[in-house]
Structure 1
Amino acid sequence: MNLLGQTRKAIVIGATGMVGQQLVTGLLEQHSYTEVVILVRESLKLTHPKLIQVIVNWDELEKYESAFHQADDLFCCLGTTIKKAGSQAAFRKVDLEYPVTAAKIAKRHGIKQFIGISSMGANAKSRVFYSRTKGQFEEEVKKTGIPSIHFVRPSLLLGDRKEHRTGEKMGEVFLRLFDPLLKLGKGRQFRAIPGSLVAAAMIRIALQEQKGIHIYSNHEIREIAESQPLSQK
């Protein structure tokens, strides 16, 4: 395992999504990271000397344990919608089962940090299926015993997506319209946030190497990302 100040290895799950793509790009630009491993279903049209793509069957993730060897940070950007997944059971696989399995494997290989995207309102006891699943995701990752666990809870994400999400697009228009009114007070929690800022915040959080369990609200994510330009050293 790499020590503070030395080079480090990152693993990214969910690298094909809006935030995941920007996260991978940011990690590759960081001099601190000499190896970035992404676990994907299909190979991406992306090449870089530090990038390693591992094609996986998510239902048999244990077969790819070697990819987790000597990694420092596990970044989780996995997420879908019930519409795209097709059912609540399929949604749970992507947003709960796969990330938790990856976290457990990573822990067995001595990983020190987990940095994952959750959601506003995540609560394992919520009556809302989406919020309950996200809350269960957080609770199960906490149980792994990884020394440093970080959950970012963004509001609606802004940015280009591969698939069209009608509901989220309507929400984006609404939040953009009222954004000036949401910049102060409790409104900051509901401001739509660019995926690029979420990715930048996740990298900065990882580089701070704070032990324990940490949860970052929507406005805290923005503050971390915008506090200063992300150093490439």
Structure 2
Amino acid sequence: MEIKIKAIVTGASGMVGEGVLHECLLDPQVEAVLVIGRKPCGTTHPKLKEIIHSDFFDISPIADQLSGYNACYFCLGVSSVGMKEPEYYELTYTLTLNVAQTLSKLNPDMTFCYVSGVGTDSTENGRLMWARVKGKTENDLMKLPFKQVFAFRPGYMHPTPGLKNVNKYYKYITWMYPLLRLIYPAGVSTMADLGRAMINVTRLGYSKQVIEVTDIKVLAKMG
């Protein structure tokens, strides 16, 4: 039986979250979307509801509004550039697990999709700080009592035309997309691919919990 998706999206005021939200609003399989953010996402749509909440380390004040959803597309994240490990750990691991633990109690039938990154270290013991922290985040999310948990590891994501929250440095590299797709297909997808992959993995599941770029492109085409 085809399921109708009711999704929570975080990070919708950023490039990745906005791209995923855009695909959710386009897709008829997605019945309702709840955006949780520190500031308005700037999008209006009949199936979109928004909660402005400043403290993602404590979502208990809004917990009564988070039941009844069967997907979470967690696109909230920070760059590790210039950060010491304790600060990055707090904003990446602690924040994400706080939200996920609450959602797993409220919605055990939920599919939780976490945007990680290519090169993430599942062993948690590698040389790169950000990769270790992301790896621990992925590993501990997969221990929570959700229906399904998937860690998405995108590389370069070509922006969706017309969306406004494109990372500033992308304007210097988007022209290279056709070349990158040709010479490094395993590291290149589109923002639309990511959004469609999340929707399809919620509907259909997948054989792996760690979703690399090649898997993202496979999932995006599943119907």
Correspondence for 2:204: 208
Q: Amino acid of the residue matched to residue 211 of structure 2?
A: Y
Q: If each structure's helix is expressed as a fraction of its own residues, which one has the higher value?
A: 1
The 1:8–1:58 alpha-carbon spacing in structure 2 relative to 1, beyond 3 Å, is same
Preserved contact between residue 10 and residue 73 of structure 2 (Cα < 8 Å): yes
Give the AA of the match of 2:97.
V
SS in 2 for 1:19: helix
Q: Alignment partner of 1:200: what SS?
A: helix
Post-superposition offset of 1:172: 6.5
Matches of 1:197 and 1:117, distance apart in 2: 13
Return the alpha-carbon distance in structure 1 between the equivalents of residues 85 and 177 of structure 2. 27
SS in 1 for 2:28: coil
For residues 111 and 71 of structure 1, do their structure 2 counterparts lie closer, same or farther at Cα, with a shift above 3 Å needed? Answer: farther
Match status 1:29 vs 2:26: yes
Give structure 2 stretches of 5+ with no counterpart: none
Structure 2 match to 1:192: 188
Stretch moving more, 25-34 or 172-181: 172-181
Q: Which residue of structure 2 aligns with residue 38 of structure 1?
A: 35
One-letter identity of the residue aligned with 1:218? V
Q: How many residues matched?
A: 215
Give the 3-state SS of the residue equivalent to 1:11 in structure 2.
strand
Structure 1's 121 and 65: CA in aligned 2 closer, same or farther, altered over 3 A?
Answer: same
Cα deviations across residues 181-212 of structure 1 (Å, max 9, x unaligned)? 334xxxx2xx32222211111111111146x8
1:158 equivalent in alignment to 2:154? no
Deviations 1:116-138 (A, max 9, x none): 21112222222201111110110
Q: Deviations over 1:150-180 (max 9, x none)?
A: 1111112332744424xx7777677764542
Secondary structure in 1 matching 2:58: helix
- 1:77 Cα shift? 0.9
Identity in percent: 19
Indicate conservation of the 8 Å contact 1:78/1:94, yes or no: no
Distance in 2 between the 1:155 and 1:176 partners? 15
CA, structure 1 residues 178+106, in 2 after alignment: closer, same or farther (shift >3 Å)?
closer
SS at match of 1:58: coil
Tell me the TM-score normalized by structure 1.
0.80
Cα distance change on mapping 1:136 and 1:14 into 2, 3 Å: same
Cα distance change on mapping 1:29 and 1:158 into 2, 3 Å: closer
Which amino acid counterpart does residue 62 of structure 1 have in structure 2?
S
**Secondary structure of the residue that 1:52 maps to in structure 2?**
strand
SS at match of 1:143: coil
Shift of 1:87: 4.6
For 1:224 and 1:110, locate their aligned partners in 2 and report how far apart those are by CA, in whole Å.
24
Q: One-letter code of the match for 1:100?
A: L
What are structure 1's unaligned runs of at least 5 residues? none
